[in-house]
Structure 1
Amino acid sequence: MKRMLRLGILGVCILLAGVLNAQIDDYKYLRDIKGVEDQWHKLQLDSEIISKLNKEMNDLRVYGINAENDTIEAAYLLKSTVDKTEKNAVNFQMINRSSRDAKYYYSLENEGAEAINLIELDFQKDNFSYQIKLEGSNDQNEWFQIIDQQTVVSIKNELSDYKFCKLIFPNSKYQYYRIEVSSDEDPKLISARSFRKEKVEGKSVSFTPEWQSMTNERAKTTEVIIDLEYPQQIHQISLNVADTFDYYRPIEISYLVDSFETEKGWKYNYRTVYNGTLSSLEHAEFDFDKQKAQRFKVNIYDGPNPPLEIDSVLARSYTFYLLIRFTEKADYYLSYGKERAKSVRYEIAQFEDQIPNAVSQLSLGDEIEISKEEEVKKALFENEYWLWIILAAIILVLGWFSFKMISNN
């Protein structure tokens, strides 16, 4: 019985070693990190690395081997260059309403004489299309044209619910503004809110994917299938429509989750990431939460209208980088590519404001694919959960043997 106990303890040690190795070996790729000289550095992640990360992007680790040949781990923050938009309201007061010859005029006073570039109009009624003219003045005698003709529209029925009532123009600073609405009847303008909108665009990577457009006459839809070369973290898809007439179409964007083959052919499962409207009044750029995928699908609901002619398609992804803290000298490398990696939250996330603004850029060596053992040899030990189950079983057996020995004594 003592011999069995010793064998059990030896088995526990072997299994523990197997668990540790399994946690490291699951990373598929390795790159040398070059240029580590300071405590803080920045490491840019290119599209090739992004394509090999898991969906959550939590399978990045920075390891080092120090002078004592010990393995250490460096803490990092994963950052992205996202767009930043500030929309500041500017105090305006409507001081005059008038009409003449099927034109309605609304005068606004800029109380703080601040620059604006956006006016949002709110009308009492639904289902309209108005032509708008916007002018500015500092004395209400001499008026300067800001917008010559712009369409605002509202469509609300059982199939659509779309409204575009924004006047968008370059930064403008006048004491007074005058809105002219062409209409045979009172448009019933409730309010005109003014803003100064400032957008700092983050750096992004544009992909020109393979795509094809197909019309489904029975469903009265146009389907655009978009295929990227590699899976990427996409946050925006834009369409260039060749048609010059006015249009508005409900639109849905989804990404491919999985596919499987049946006797009748391949079946594809998609998940929706965006619902909105494709309109000639707005730029056809559709933003959504970043989603890692290689194939996207755009459904355009044409209804009784002629299909739109899509001229080109673009997909965009933000750029990603690591802010890394190095605490000791070592040879460092970046490992990545682990489908079921566990998220880590380093303490530096609590002290982000202490990170220097100016940090030097690191570079990476060539990618090395970490070799794996043959499937026959590693089939059991590559699964961490099985190792823990077996470990628990051995501990129970050892406990039973120990209890029996104590009872016999």
Structure 2
Amino acid sequence: MMLKLKIKILALLVCCAIGLQAQTNTYRYKRELKGINTTWHSITLPNEVFKNAQSGLADLRIYGFKGKDTVEVPYILEQSADQMTDKETSFNIINQSNNANGYFYTFQASAAATINQIKLSFKQTNFDWKVKLEGSNDNKEWFTVLENYRILAIKNNNTDYQFTQLNFPVAKYSYFRLAIKANEQPQLSAAKILKTDTLKGISKNITYQSYQLFNDAKNKQSTIDVTLANPTPLSYLKINTQGDFDFYRALKIEYVTDSFKTDKGIQYNYAPLFEGTISSLEVPEFNFTGTLVSRLKVTIENNDNKPLHLTSITLKGPVYELVGRFDDASLSYALYYGNKEATTPSYELKNFEHKIPMSVVALAIGAEQNNPAFTTAKTKAPLFENKLWLWCLMGVIIALLGFFAYKMLRS
């Protein structure tokens, strides 16, 4: 009985040692984590991680070691992004009139309303009007909220653009009066009075390696090619322009998915990030879903207009953060990645997010290292199909059996 027990214990230790290495040997890279002193910690991912990790970050793992003991740390991956909320205010149109100065619409809110945006819709598809917005608490004394504000709509073979949203600082009144200076009766079809709030996420500026602007007179386009130093999540682009004339032009933002060689050099395949309009009436900034980008192309349709004077661009991306539960602060922890075949882990932690403290301590993350346990073995055949392993194991078992048999005979 003692002999069988000792053999089982030895086999268990061997399997544990093999399992310990097997947990990390499929990950090519690692980064040490420092500063673990409590249960909950966060890790901000450096941009360099995205170069060697899967594009969807499915291969991120956190392991802790102490001697032969190893644990996998459950985590939640969070992406910081702006969160926008809209609160609509109900109202009635109590007056519609006009005189030599324009057309007037008076809105009465059900209660004194705090708003900062009004969205207007008109049946007309081509117009260029100036508006004035006033507020009042008694429908007698009026205070200016917006003046000389421009709204317009253009629809033709080249353009389909509308800007009919009034944006202004927060104002609280029981009545709002809209004056439109137009040479025809505006056909107001809908209006929404809103209070919008934006909870700013954490974003970081992204520097680009190169920036090239091409004005293509033949195709009546301007294109901007941007190359980043490393693949980086991107969610914001602003185009900085100079000029003293109004414009509104179709714009398309694309990113490179792959490349291939041709007789004319390297060509790229692109996927869309954003399509819309760049206009002098709006801040030329564009937000889209965070996407891993290494090369970017922006196309502006000039039609028969002269190209815009583009001076530079500004790029920003979301901050990716892991929030993990470290149950044993005495272990040595590291972040592992670089496994193309790994799938997204499934941790129970995602069902208990409400138990994670609002404020957690950030860990220091070390420089990227090659994982010494990584193996490039391409086959996943069972261990004992390898004849060398089999003969070695048989030799160890025979030696152990002989040793224990000898000890039993002597006793």
User: Is the shorter-chain TM-score for this pair beyond 0.5, marking a shared fold?
Assistant: yes
Q: Partner residue of 2:152?
A: 153
CA positional deviation for 1:222:
0.5
Which digits, 9 at most, give the CA deviation of each residue in 1:349-407, with x for residues without a partner? 1111111223222212333223588xxxx76x2x2xx434x88999xxxxxxxxxxxxx
- In structure 1, C-alpha distance between the alignment counterparts of 2:246 and 2:165, rounded to whole Å: 16
Deviations 1:114-152 (A, max 9, x none): 200000111122111111111112223322111111111
Shift of residue 20, structure 1, vs aligned partner: 8.9
With the length of structure 1 as denominator, give the TM-score of the two structures: 0.84
**Residues 313-337 of structure 1: CA distance to partner in whole angstroms, max 9, x if unpaired?**
0111111111111223411111123
Q: In the alignment, which residue of structure 1 is the partner of 2:338? A: 337
SS in structure 1 opposite 2:357?
Answer: coil
Q: Is the 8 A contact 2:20 2:68 kept in 1?
A: no
CA distance in 2, matches of 1:28, 1:114: 58
Residue 289 (str. 1) matches residue 289 (str. 2): yes
Whether contact under 8 Å (2:94, 2:107) holds in the other structure is yes
Aligned to 2:380: 387
Hey, what does 1:27 align to over in structure 2?
27
CA distance in 2, matches of 1:285, 1:201: 15
CA 118–267 in structure 1, closer or farther in 2 if over 3 Å, else same? same
Matches within 5 A, 1:239-250: 239-250=239-250
Q: Would the aligned equivalents of 2:115 and 2:196 in 1 still touch at CA under 8 Å?
A: yes
Q: Which residue of 2 aligns with 1:92?
A: 91
Q: Is the 8 A contact 1:258 1:269 kept in 2?
A: yes
Aligned to 2:391: none
Shift of 1:270: 1.0
Q: Is 2:335 the partner of 1:359?
A: no
1:392 & 1:242 partners in 2: Cα distance? 70
Maintained 8 Å contact 2:65/2:332 = yes
Deviation at 1:179, TM superposition (A): 0.8
Q: Structure 2: how far apart are the matches of 1:103 and 1:138?
A: 23
Correspondences of 1:41-56 after superposition (within 5 Å):
41-56=41-56
Q: Is the 8 A contact 1:84 1:202 kept in 2?
A: yes
In the alignment, which residue of structure 2 is the partner of 1:307? Answer: 307
Moved more, 268-277 or 335-344: 335-344
Question: TM-score, normalising length from structure 2?
Answer: 0.84
**AA matched with 1:369:** N
Maintained 8 Å contact 1:116/1:195: yes
Residue 13 (structure 2) aligns with:
none
* Counterpart-to-counterpart distance in 1, 2:220 and 2:359: 54
- 2:349 maps to 348
Deviation at 1:295, TM superposition (A): 0.8
Aligned counterparts of 1:229 and 1:174: Cα–Cα separation in 2: 51
Paired amino acid for 1:335:
Y
After superposing on structure 2, the runs of 4+ consecutive aligned residues of structure 1 that deviate more than 4 Å are 17-23, 390-394
Contact 1:19 1:387 in 2 (8 A): no
Distance in 2, matches of 1:264 and 1:312, equals 28
Instruction: Find the residue that maps to 1:223 and give its secondary structure.
Output: strand
- Distance (whole Å) between structure 2 residues aligned to residue 137 and residue 306 of structure 1: 44
Structure 2 counterpart of 1:245, one-letter code: F
Contact 2:24 2:336 in 1 (8 A): no
Q: Do the aligned partners of 2:62 and 2:73 also contact (CA within 8 Å) in 1?
A: yes
Rounded to whole Å, the distance in 1 between the matches of 2:134 and 2:384 is 78
Residues of 2 paired with 1:145 and 1:299: CA distance? 39
Unaligned 5+ segments in structure 1 are 1-16, 395-409
8 Å CA contact 1:102, 1:185 repeated in 2: no
CA RMSD of aligned residues (A): 2.4
| 3-state SS, counterpart of residue 113 of structure 2 | coil
- Residue type of the partner of 1:60? L
Identity %: 34
Q: Deviations over 1:84-136 (max 9, x none)?
A: 11001011211111111151111111221020000011112211111111111
**2:237 maps to 1:237:** yes
**Residues in 1 aligned to 2:248 and 2:18: alpha-carbon distance in whole angstroms:** 60
CA–CA distance in structure 2, aligned partners of residues 170 and 51 of structure 1: 42
Look up the match of 2:394: none
Residue pair 2:109, 2:175 contacting (<8 A) in 1 also:
yes
CA gap 1:18/1:253 in 2 versus in 1, 3 angstroms:
farther
Where does residue 121 of structure 1 map in the other structure?
Answer: 120
CA contact (8 A) 2:152 2:164 kept: yes
Aligned length: 369
One-letter amino acid matched to 2:380: L
> 1:235, 1:318 within 8 Å by CA — same for their partners in 2?
yes
Contiguous gaps of at least 5 residues in structure 2: 1-16, 387-411
* Contact 2:80–2:202 under 8 Å retained in 1: yes
Determine the C-alpha separation between the residues in 2 that align with 1:219 and 1:371. 54
- SS where residue 232 of structure 2 aligns? strand
The answer as to whether partners of 2:20 and 2:70 remain within 8 angstroms in 1 is: no
Residue 171 of structure 2 corresponds to which residue in structure 1?
172
Shift of 1:344: 0.6
The DSSP-based 3-state class of the residue aligned with 1:174 is: strand
CA distance in 1 between counterparts of 2:56 and 2:157 reads: 38
Pair 1:320-2:313 in alignment = no
